[in-house]
Amino acid sequence: MLNVIKGWLHSYLSDQEAIVLLVILLVGFVVVLTMGTMLAPALAALIFAFLMQGVVSWLERRNMPHLLAVNLVFAGFMAVLLLVIFVVVPLVWEQVTHLLNAMPGMVREGQALLVSLPDLYPGFVSDHQVGLLVTTINKHLADFGQKAFSFSLSKLPGIVALLVYLILVPILVFFFLKDKNVLLSWMAGILPRRRRLLDQVADEMNDQIANYIRGKAVEIVIVGGVSYVLFAVLGLSYSALLAVMVGFSVVVPYIGATVVTIPIAIIGFFQWGMGDQFLVLMVGYAIIQALDGNVLVPLLFSEAVNLHPVAIILAVLVFGGLWGFWGVFFAIPLATLLKAVMNAWPAVVDVETT
């Protein structure tokens, strides 16, 4: 047994580059788990910088000076950020408030519908079953109200932190764009000069992560925008709120689209009942999801993210459980990183040992 372990260690950890890569991965994993919340502004800024670096590079290829290109792109970023803060966020917040005020009425309508089920389907639903279900729903609603109240009180300090993030993130974005080459040179300086394995993994991941983040941002905007048009044309209540939910649901592959279908169906049902508009809503939403999965995602990501659906779902569950929202957002890039390491590691070690 000891010989087997010793042979395995010799095969995979006998190369200095492999040990360095392993140490970097372990240190990064520990930093993310222990300081992920504190580093959230830097991570958000890094994502925005990835989104805008392509535009900066495009302007530079047309002979625009680096600093001028950065300033123009950053000005556009600030304009979009202010538009979101002063237009989109107030609209969504208003609809959230209206939805919370309307929930008691929706609950009463739902309970009335449940009470009528024994008369409609006497052979399948009994009064006792409905009574137990209504009692359970009321209990969960009371618990939800209490948790929501305590959650709102506990999150008051988070409002101050959010204001700090709104200041820190734009500053970090500007410096990430402006001093990209300086930061990359500094990082290269602290790594070993002989780093073929590191360079191989880094080259494979750089384009994939950048393309993933940019593609995911485009997907969020397109899916959310098309959904808002559908909801607004049909006159669905809380169109902006639901469209934002649909847009961000694409961050969680497979699971997000399924989960966000529930509030859309509930709100549509309570607004129209099982009528033609409700059917048009659900069919239209299904078409959007089908086009997203079968047309938009292959067009945006192509073969950049070549992972099996089971691997994607497992990555979302594992990294989301370890790292919360950021783990869900970066689940696919992290899974791709692990795949790149596993593909590159044995090949390089075999070359060194032969």
Of the pLDDT bands very low, low, confident and very high (cuts 50, 70, 90), residue 74 is: very high
How does pLDDT run across 294-318, given as a tens digit for each residue?
888 777 765 455 666 777 778 778 8
Given a contact cutoff of 8 angstroms between Cβ atoms, the answer to whether 285 and 234 are in contact is no
- Check whether 123 has a pLDDT greater than 70: no
How does pLDDT run across 19-51, given as a tens digit for each residue?
777 777 788 778 777 776 777 788 888 888 888
How does pLDDT run across 142-171, given as a tens digit for each residue?
666 665 555 444 454 456 667 777 888 899
Give pTM, 2 decimals.
0.72
CA angle 103, 105, 110 (to 5 degrees): 90
Phi, psi of 164 (to 5 degrees): -65, -40
Mean pLDDT of 242-268: 87
How does pLDDT run across 234-251, given as a tens digit for each residue?
999 999 999 999 998 888
Per the structure block, which two tokens stand in for 289? Answer: 């999801």
What is the rounded distance in angstroms from the CA atom of residue 330 to the CA atom of residue 209?
9
Q: In the 3-class helix/strand/coil scheme, how is 258-309 assigned residue by residue?
A: HHHHHHHHHHHHHHHCCCHHHHHHHHHHHHHHHHHHHHHHHHHHCCCCCCCH
Burial class (CB in 10 A: 0-12, 13-18, 19+), 117: middle
- Check whether 134 has a pLDDT greater than 80: no
207 SS3 class: helix
